[in-house]
Amino acid sequence: MTFELESKLEEFLRAMLKSRLQGLPNFQILENKKVADIILCREAPNPAAFFLEVKLFTPKKHRIGVGIGSGEGFQPELLNKRPKFFEAYLRWVLCDGTLGERQFVFAANSTVVKYLTGGSIGQKHNNIRPSIFQSEPLLAAPALLDEIERWVQEN
């Protein structure tokens, strides 16, 4: 079989992998390939990759959107399927753009899902409720950097 487009090769390989690996315990193949806004790589002696999703709340939009408008994309898939790898190696950095001083929430997927509009991910516009900024600890930029550094050193 020949392939004229890389995307067709990817579709073929993904279908084969799904067929072969779907019965294995504790295994998932994610559909979306855009992984994160920022990827941090730790080198030897214990190499690891850390992923940051960055979200901004603005008064103009009055929401924190997740994924694309139809409920698709990496972020909704991640929050819906909740792969354990990303529970450990992905964090969300949310910023409230309405505050005069930059304030951030640094959160795991398990925290973010508590603030999903409607309580779950669906085939619609998915959003994180702005109430996350009233309920979760707000960090100034230096404290945010401390938390990120602590997270990558502990994992």
Let me know how many helices (H) and strands (E) the chain has, helices first: 6, 6
Amino acid at 95: C
Q: What is the pLDDT of residue 47?
A: 87
Nearest Cα to Cα of residue 83 among 151, 29, 152: 29
**46-92 pLDDT, tens digit each:** 888 899 999 998 877 777 888 876 667 889 889 988 899 999 999 99
Q: 129 pLDDT exceeds 80? A: yes
Average pLDDT over residues 91-108: 88
**3-58 pLDDT, tens digit each:** 777 788 888 878 888 888 777 777 777 777 778 889 998 887 888 889 999 999 88
Distance separating alpha carbons of residues 95 and 8, to the nearest angstrom: 38
Average pLDDT over residues 112-123: 82
* pLDDT band, residue 136 (cuts 50/70/90): very high
Q: What is the pLDDT of residue 90?
A: 96
Nearest Cα to Cα of residue 115 among 65, 60, 61: 65
Alpha helices in the chain (DSSP H): 6-21, 74-81, 84-89, 109-112, 132-135, 141-154
As a whole-number percent, the residues of the chain with pLDDT over 70 amount to 94
